[in-house]
Amino acid sequence: MQSVVLRVAVLGWAGLSLLLALHWFVELGMVGFPDGYVTPFARATGPLLHILATACLMQGLYFLYRGLFGKGFGVLGLGLQILIAAVLTVAPVMIVRNCPHSQTCSRAYEALTNTMMDDGAGG
């Protein structure tokens, strides 16, 4: 029974990873739509987001393989792998995406790039 639950957990994480990667790739493909303007923030973070989306896709494929063809799951090892995968891919994307709405992150971005935060929002 435990093996079935773990297999479902692995396949669930694989599915979520693949869907997130697809969503992020579509978002990256839509940068600049509809008027063609790409903000400095989007230009600065685009390469990083591409790398993270690719890593998320790879982890999704890895966990899909583990869920379908893997033999014997250890709860601790598997949980640790999923946690590491989430920390290395999903968490950074969430930080970058929410950066314009965070004072601390915006200040750090401005200090690092020596430019004002321009994410296209405004009036």
**Domain-located, residue 119:** no
The domain total for the chain is 1
| CA 11 – CA 14 distance, rounded (Å) | 5
Instruction: Provide the pLDDT for residue 4.
Output: 84
Question: How many Å is the maximal CA-CA distance in the chain?
Answer: 56
**Domain-located, residue 74:** yes
| Short-list 24, 15, 4, 3, CA closest to 82 | 15
Q: Determine what percent of the chain is predicted with pLDDT higher than 90.
A: 60
- The larger pLDDT score, comparing residue 28 to residue 5, is at 28
**Domain-located, residue 57:** yes
CB distance 86 to 26 below 8 Å: no
Token duo for residue 90: 């999903």
Residue 122 has pLDDT above 70, yes or no: no
- The larger pLDDT score, comparing residue 66 to residue 74, is at 66
pTM: 0.87
Helix (H, G, I), strand (E, B) or coil at 105: helix
Token duo for residue 59: 């982890």
**Domain-located, residue 89:** yes
Q: Which domain holds residue 80?
A: 1-113
